Amino acid sequence: MSRGTVVAKRYAKALFQLAQAQNLVSETEIQLKLIVNVIEGDANIRAFLTAPNITLDTKLNTLRGSFGDKASPIVLNLISLLIERGREGELGAVLAAYLQVAGEVLGRADAVVTSSIALSELEKIKLADKFGALLGKTVRVVNEVDPNLLGGLTVRIGDTLYDGSLRGKLERLDKTLQSAAV
């Protein structure tokens, strides 16, 4: 495990404990996602936060001015702490670790379902129910569309990939045929 991952997990656990104590677990997740998406989605903001010629006070004041009404003090304090310590590059890892910590404690898992076309809400619910029963957790489905997928689905939950795609089935069939020919 890399040092960055360990550090991200420590920050995420601390944030989760604070959020849980204040009954703000879901709100904290939403707010953290918002801030991380904004920062990681804009190269200018990332450049601003990492610029050595801009004072720390200016960075923090700008951050609080931009997100002050959209985020709770605990989220803003975490972001500020990361920036103060030069760890703004760890924001995405902290979010991922927070989702993992919250999921473990709350009995929840996130499933990223990749399909060739967008899934309907009913299909998402059925997938969530099926994988929820398999894992013994509440599963939240996020659908990603990949038009290059010939058919079927891939489902990633944590580090586990369930490959029900046509490409995956063809690759497994090819391996089986090659091992039988030997």
Report whether 28 contacts 13 (CB < 8 A).
Answer: no
Element (H, E) at 35: helix 25-41
pLDDT in tens, 90-121: 898 999 899 888 888 888 888 899 998 999 99
User: How many other C-beta atoms lie within 10 A of the C-beta of residue 15?
Assistant: 25
Spans of all domains in the chain:
3-103, 108-165
pTM equals 0.71
Average pLDDT, the chain: 88
Tell me the β-bridge partners of 113: 143, 155
Report pLDDT for 154.
92
What is residue 171's predicted lDDT score, i.e. its pLDDT?
Answer: 85
Question: How far is it, in rounded angstroms, from Cα 89 to Cα 82?
Answer: 9
* pLDDT (mean) for 14-25: 91
- Give Dmax (Cα) for the chain: 68
Give yes or no for residue 57 having a pLDDT over 80.
yes
User: Can you give the pLDDT at residue 124?
Assistant: 93
Partnered with residue 138 across adjacent β-strands are 108
13, pLDDT greater than 60: yes
CATH of domain 108-165: 3.40.30.10
What does the alpha-carbon distance between residue 98 and residue 84 come to, in Å, rounded to a whole number?
Answer: 20
Instruction: Check residue 48 and give left, alpha or beta (phi > 0: left; psi -120 to 50: alpha).
Output: alpha
Task: Provide mean pLDDT across the span 29-55.
Answer: 89
Could you tell me what percent of the chain has a pLDDT over 70? 97
Is residue 3's pLDDT more than 70? Answer: no
User: How far apart are the C-alpha atoms of 139 and 6, rounded to whole Å?
Assistant: 25
- In CATH terms, the fold of domain 3-103 is Peroxidase; domain 1 (1.10.520)
What does the pLDDT read at residue 182?
Answer: 65
